[in-house]
Amino acid sequence: MAISNVTEIKEFSVLANQKKDGVVRPLHAEEYLFDFLLDDNSIFLSLRRTMWKNPLSFTNDLYVEFHYQQLLSDYLGGMLMLPPAAGGSSSVQQMAELSALQHVAKGLMHQPSLSEIKEYLPSQDGLSSKVEEIHSFCQGQIAAMQSLSPPDAKIKFIVFMSALPLFGSNIFRVQKVSQRGCPSPCMISIGQEGVLFLHPKTQERVFMIPLANVQSMSTVRPKRQSKKPAVVISYGSPGNPKTITIHLIQAKALCHTLAMVMESSVRPSVTSSVSNRL
């Protein structure tokens, strides 16, 4: 990807993905890749950008493609939501623009069908009733993008995503949280601001733990097979210590990601306890 800046290289993580149950966790720099590649091919490796401190550059085609595919996956998976528009709903015009950019990014310039539009929309409640309206706006967007090349469409999509409130954070879906007032399930965003607990449908902030307040974290294996693993975060001051328990499938990924973000922030001394295997 033509990245020569060492600090930017450190913003990428190799992920170990377990095929059977979908467990994912980032590898640390000192860990050996082949320790995770088992003979039965039950684990595969992938690459993901987990931090976004360095400015983006669009001079390399592979760089553009990598970031486009990661952000596209997050958008379609409902991890990066558009901010509410007037009336409290996501902007139809913005979704139409993003749909048009995805269409052009594939090298297509014909007017997309309704079924194609559905493929360009995120997993989000309430969108099924807006498909026809989005489709109508998208037709005008496509007409205005006749001179846009697929790489340029991908760059415009990345730039659009970079303006969203949760851009640059790592988002997890959580089944249960011990914090009073937090909905279950909910979403958790880990970034330079801290650990944000979000409403699962609107991504409105419900609760936050600043990075500076995190003292330690550890993963907890479920006592029964039907239960989810958990992450316990200790935070607060020595005189007023607090803990919060978060239940989710990707407990190890959350714990490791938080540790990585902490290492790059003002609190490199945070301690974590998590097994080195998946």
The answer to whether residue 229 is domain-embedded is yes
- C-alpha–C-alpha distance, residues 33 and 231, integer Å: 25
Residue 41: exposure state from Cβ atoms within 10 A (0-12, 13-18, ≥19): exposed
Do residues 269 and 211 make contact, with C-beta atoms less than 8 angstroms apart? no
Do 155 and 180 reside in the same domain of the chain?
no
Do residues 201 and 266 make contact, with C-beta atoms less than 8 angstroms apart? no
> pLDDT class for 34, splitting at 50, 70, 90?
confident
Domain count, the chain: 2
pTM to 2 decimal places: 0.88
pLDDT one-digit tens code per residue, 157-184: 999 999 998 999 999 999 999 988 899 8
Please identify, among 134, 162, 190, the residue that sits at the C-terminal boundary of a domain.
Answer: 162
Give SS3 for 244: strand
Cα four-point dihedral sign 108, 112, 113, 119: positive
Q: What is the pLDDT of residue 176?
A: 93
Do residues 218 and 252 make contact, with C-beta atoms less than 8 angstroms apart? no
Residue 73, φ and ψ in degrees, nearest 5: -60, -40
Contacts of 13 (CB under 8 A, 6+ apart): 26, 27, 47, 48, 49, 50, 257, 260
Query: At residue 173, what is the residue type?
Result: R
Do residues 230 and 253 make contact, with C-beta atoms less than 8 angstroms apart? no
Do 112 and 223 reside in the same domain of the chain?
no
The answer to whether residue 278 is domain-embedded is no
Continuous segment of H or E residues that includes residue 26 = strand 24-26
Task: Give the mean model confidence (pLDDT) for residues 179-194.
Answer: 91
pLDDT one-digit tens code per residue, 79-117: 999 887 655 455 889 999 999 999 999 999 899 999 999
Please identify, among 162, 186, 216, the residue that sits at the C-terminal boundary of a domain.
Answer: 162
| Tokens, residue 79 | 């991890």
The answer to whether residue 113 is domain-embedded is yes
- C-alpha–C-alpha distance, residues 2 and 69, integer Å: 17
Do 158 and 172 reside in the same domain of the chain?
no
Do 157 and 200 reside in the same domain of the chain?
no
Do 37 and 128 reside in the same domain of the chain?
yes
Q: Which carries the bigger pLDDT value, residue 275 or residue 49?
A: 49
Please identify, among 162, 178, 195, the residue that sits at the C-terminal boundary of a domain.
Answer: 162
Do 95 and 208 reside in the same domain of the chain?
no
Task: Tell how strand 176-177 and strand 240-247 pair up.
Answer: antiparallel
- C-alpha–C-alpha distance, residues 115 and 55, integer Å: 36
**Beta bridge pairs of residue 170:** 190
> pLDDT class for 202, splitting at 50, 70, 90?
confident
- C-alpha–C-alpha distance, residues 26 and 247, integer Å: 18
The answer to whether residue 70 is domain-embedded is yes
Do 141 and 38 reside in the same domain of the chain?
yes
Do 176 and 227 reside in the same domain of the chain?
yes
Domain residues for the domain of 197 are: 167-273
**Largest Cα span, the chain:** 64
- What CATH code is carried by the domain that includes residue 17? 1.20.80.10
Do 198 and 91 reside in the same domain of the chain?
no
* Whether the predicted pLDDT of 230 surpasses 90: yes
Task: Give the mean model confidence (pLDDT) for residues 48-77.
Answer: 95
Do 177 and 133 reside in the same domain of the chain?
no
